[in-house]
């Protein structure tokens, strides 16, 4: 398709405007466009590129969304090694470094460039004729991993250099990192999805950059600061490190605004103290500062030793640690039943804050560090992170000390404490009764896929608990109209609706009820499977681990969780009370006898269905023995495509997988039981 010249010019102008905005936003921190206008221009460019694919260029800002997953990272050999730095922890060590530099250069005073030591992941970026062609991690210094696709998703990194005076070949080195705000947001998202959270911003940045699927990297809040150059061909760069970084900024790279040229060791120490006072207020994590001899000719004279340059050193911040005595160990029970041991400490000032408590994480950590009551311990506090016990001084341990072991019964409700094999966390099993888990249990019980009590969300649950109106799940069904109407923001009409929703929820299915109980390892699919197999709650509550493990897809961990849950007297009491208050479901109507006509088949649902919800379709497919997956792969047998089906449909066509519409699905489901 021939592209009209006017359209080509329009796309080129859009690319230039958007890239210019990225430069002012990420490099100069001085945006020139409101976000809404930027989004409008981006959509306009995306529309043109979709209509005329040949318009799409490697440096288009639309290419930051990520590409198809890789099977593995390719190895990259660094043309010039990416060296590590030697460390200084005390002023004396810095003095020694400065003295060695001055003696080798035979000068009285050295001009240094002082920079922040970012806590992220070092990368190398290679540009040829102004275009980003290769990005690699530091690796072992000699060899790294090719992360080009992932790096291209980071908006702070230019896909094409600005201006025209850049070298034909330019390698830029810098740090990929995650700002504190982005790290906190990412962990909140991970928690909401029930996925693993990251320990700190550095781990989050490293994990995000090393995703085989660059579309995941594109969704992570990564950014970049440049701090050096590597290979340069075809042009001469300025004669000082500081001038080179200024030139990099002109070409489109962000540099640290805290960077400073200082004179001699005294200038370095003043910079160190200034940054140390700013450390907590910085929007990203740092673990020290770096000093580099500014003049390149002096750097060349100094050369290298082993795997580090003689002309640079990292001045690390001291760990925020102090010595105190561990007076006692308390055990806290979290909202999901997790038991967390907490050290009660003799008050100690750490980093300007008085610390009396510190986390001990879990039993494995206590055993690894051999922490005991009465021990003298080193406590670390870094920023707003919860203080932790780093290690014990065994030589100061009292003679009568005993190893600490988590209790076998919940300190809050007395239920059994269990720990799944290969998991670090021990948990209370009294989920229906334990006050510590009350809020979480109530919210889950009332949720749409459980008992579906409309209107009983997080805010209402918090009100019920604050007003001490409920002690366990069953109390929801005993509250009067007057009590509901008395809650802040309710009133008579809202109370009427709540009472009707609660009454409606009494008629349910065994599968929904089992899911609503919040048994660990029992999601919707497992709850439905249990209902199919047993058809009767009493039979299930009496089942042994051996019986449960005979059921397909019920493993030893799930079997243990189910048995342990129903063994708790408190849980049984709440279940009986719920039934006494009118909760019911069809008895002995197990659909297990339904012909498993789709056994062994894997389905993926995409798009909107008109005659049923996707949850309904999933339930009916599973009732016929099918597996329903969230992602399309070569193992997928059918993709059910509703209206506005997206990328899953395209992938299915690419892989040659059977695609059926809603009518085709209904044909397969003709023997499925009603939901």
Query: pLDDT band at 265, cuts 50/70/90?
Result: very high
Same domain, 105 and 183: yes
Whole-model pTM above 0.75?
no
pLDDT of residue 593: 45
Same domain, 461 and 569: yes
Same domain, 567 and 602: no
pLDDT of residue 592: 46
* 256/375 Cα distance (integer angstroms): 44
Count structural domains, the chain.
Answer: 5
CATH number of the domain bearing residue 348? 2.40.50.140
Same domain, 300 and 342: no
* Average pLDDT score, the chain: 87
Position 587 in a domain: no
Same domain, 311 and 326: no
Same domain, 361 and 471: no
Same domain, 122 and 45: no
* 64/56 Cα distance (integer angstroms): 12
Q: Hey, which of 14-18, 317-321, 450-454 has the most confident mean pLDDT?
A: 450-454
pLDDT in tens, 190-210: 888 888 777 678 888 888 998
104 or 385, higher pLDDT: 104
Q: Which of 396, 415, 445 is the last residue of a domain?
A: 396
Same domain, 335 and 443: no
Contact between 501 and 476 under an 8 Å Cβ cutoff? The reply is: no
Position 325 in a domain: yes
Contact between 469 and 479 under an 8 Å Cβ cutoff? The reply is: yes
> Known catalytic residue: 635?
no
Instruction: Mark out the alpha helices in 542-643 (DSSP H runs).
Output: 545-549, 556-567, 569-580, 614-623
pLDDT in tens, 165-179: 999 999 999 999 999
Same domain, 450 and 308: no
Q: Which of 316, 345, 369 is the last residue of a domain?
A: 316
Q: Which of 54, 99, 109, 117 is catalytic?
A: 117
The whole-number average pLDDT for the span 4-23 is: 84
Look at residue 675 and tell me whether its pLDDT is greater than 80. no
Look at residue 36 and tell me whether its pLDDT is greater than 90. no
Listed as own residue / partner, the contacts of 438-445 with beta carbons closer than 8 Å and 24 or more positions apart are 438/465, 438/470, 438/471, 438/472, 439/335, 439/465, 440/335, 440/336, 440/518, 441/472, 441/473, 441/518, 442/470, 442/473, 442/476, 444/516, 444/518, 445/473, 445/476, 445/516, 445/517, 445/518
CATH number of the domain bearing residue 55? 1.10.287.610
Same domain, 565 and 642: no
Query: What is the enclosing helix (H) or strand (E) of 341?
Result: strand 338-350
- The vertex-634 CA angle with 630 and 639, nearest 5°, equals 50
Q: Hey, which of 96-110, 189-203, 271-285 has the most confident mean pLDDT?
A: 96-110
Question: Helix 438-446 to helix 458-466 angle, to the nearest 10 degrees?
Answer: 140
pLDDT of residue 385: 63
Say how many C-beta atoms besides its own lie within 10 A of residue 389's C-beta.
Answer: 24
Listed as own residue / partner, the contacts of 637-640 with beta carbons closer than 8 Å and 24 or more positions apart are 637/601, 637/602, 637/603, 638/601, 638/602, 638/603, 638/604, 638/668, 639/603, 639/604, 639/605, 639/606, 640/603, 640/604, 640/605, 640/606, 640/609, 640/664, 640/665
Containing structural domain, residue 617: 594-668
3-state secondary structure of 669: coil
Position 53 in a domain: yes
Query: pLDDT band at 673, cuts 50/70/90?
Result: very low
Position 558 in a domain: yes
Least confident interval from 9-23, 52-66, 230-244, 485-499 = 52-66
CATH number of the domain bearing residue 664? 3.40.50.10190
Position 26 in a domain: yes
The closest alpha carbon to 38, from 53, 52, 20, 50, belongs to 20
The full DSSP string for 104-162 is: HHT-S--EEEEEEEESSEEEEEEEETTEEEEEEE-TTSSEEEB-HHHHTT-TTS-SB-S
Least confident interval from 204-213, 374-383, 527-536, 631-640 = 374-383
CATH number of the domain bearing residue 461? 1.10.150.20
* 672/594 Cα distance (integer angstroms): 7
Q: Which of 365, 396, 427 is the last residue of a domain?
A: 396
Position 216 in a domain: yes
């Amino acid at each position: 398709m021939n592209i009209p010249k006017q359209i080509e010019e329009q796309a080129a102008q859009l690319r230039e405007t958007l890239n210019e905005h990225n430069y002012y936003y990420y490099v100069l921190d001085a945006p020139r466009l409101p976000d809404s206008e930027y989004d409008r221009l981006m959509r306009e460019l995306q529309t043109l590129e979709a209509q005329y694919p040949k318009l799409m260029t490697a440096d288009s800002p639309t290419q930051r969304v990520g590409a198809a997953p890789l099977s593995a990272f390719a190895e990259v050999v660094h043309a010039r090694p990416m060296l590590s730095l030697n460390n200084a922890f005390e002023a004396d060590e810095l003095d020694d470094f400065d003295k060695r530099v001055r003696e080798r250069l035979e000068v009285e005073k050295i001009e240094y460039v002082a920079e922040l030591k970012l806590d992220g992941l070092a990368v190398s970026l290679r540009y040829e004729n102004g275009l980003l062609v290769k990005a690699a991690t530091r690796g072992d210094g000699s060899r790294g991993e090719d992360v080009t696709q992932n790096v291209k998703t980071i908006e702070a990194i230019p896909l094409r250099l600005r201006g025209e005076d850049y070298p034909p070949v330019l390698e830029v080195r810098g740090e990929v990192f995650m700002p504190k705000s982005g790290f906190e947001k990412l962990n909140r998202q991970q928690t909401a999805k029930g996925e693993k959270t990251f320990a700190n911003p550095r781990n989050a940045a490293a994990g995000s950059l090393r995703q085989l699927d660059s579309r995941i990297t594109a969704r992570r809040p990564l950014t970049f600061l440049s701090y050096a150059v590597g290979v340069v061909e075809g042009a001469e760069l300025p004669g000082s490190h500081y001038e080179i970084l200024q030139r990099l900024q002109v070409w489109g790279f962000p540099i640290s605004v805290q960077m400073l040229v200082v004179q001699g060791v005294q200038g370095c120490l003043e910079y160190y103290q200034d940054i140390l006072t700013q450390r907590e207020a910085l929007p990203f994590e740092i673990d020290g500062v770096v000093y580099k001899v500014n003049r390149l000719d002096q750097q060349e004279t100094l050369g290298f030793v082993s795997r580090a340059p003689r002309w640079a050193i990292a001045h690390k911040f001291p760990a925020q640690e102090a010595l105190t005595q561990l007076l006692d160990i308390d055990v806290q029970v979290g909202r999901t039943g997790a038991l967390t041991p907490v050290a009660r400490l003799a008050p100690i000032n750490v980093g300007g804050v008085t610390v009396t408590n510190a986390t001990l994480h879990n039993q494995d950590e206590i055993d690894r560090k051999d922490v005991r009551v009465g021990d003298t311990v080193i406590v670390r506090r870094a920023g707003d992170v919860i203080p932790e016990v780093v290690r014990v001084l065994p030589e100061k341990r009292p003679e009568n000390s005993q190893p600490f072991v988590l209790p076998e019964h919940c300190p809050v409700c007395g239920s059994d404490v269990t720990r799944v094999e290969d998991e670090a966390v021990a948990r209370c099993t009294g989920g229906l009764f334990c006050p510590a888990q009350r809020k979480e249990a109530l919210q889950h019980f009332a949720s749409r896929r459980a008992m579906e009590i409309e209107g009983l969300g997080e805010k209402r649950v918090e009100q019920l608990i604050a007003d001490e109106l409920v002690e366990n799940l069953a109390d929801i069904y005993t509250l009067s109209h007057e009590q509901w109407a008395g809650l802040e923001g309710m009133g008579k009409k809202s109370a009427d609706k709540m009472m009707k929703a609660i009454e409606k929820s009494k008629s349910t299915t065994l599968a929904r009820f089992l899911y609503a109980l919040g048994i660990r390892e029992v999601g919707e699919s497992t709850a439905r499977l249990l209902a199919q197999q047993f058809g009767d709650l009493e039979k299930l509550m009496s089942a042994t681990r051996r019986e449960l493990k005979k059921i397909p897809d019920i493993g030893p961990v799930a079997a243990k969780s189910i048995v342990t849950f129903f063994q708790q007297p408190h849980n049984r009491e709440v279940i009986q009370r719920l039934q006494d208050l009118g909760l019911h479901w069809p008895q002995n109507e197990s659909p297990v006898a339904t012909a498993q006509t789709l056994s062994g088949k894997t389905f993926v649902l995409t798009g909107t269905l008109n005659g049923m919800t996707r949850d309904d379709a999933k339930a009916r497919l599973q009732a016929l023995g099918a597996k329903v997956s969230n992602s399309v792969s070569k193992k997928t047998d059918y993709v059910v495509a509703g209206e506005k089906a997206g990328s899953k449909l395209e992938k299915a066509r690419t892989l040659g997988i059977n695609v059926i519409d809603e009518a085709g699905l209904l044909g397969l489901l003709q023997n499925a039981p009603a939901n």
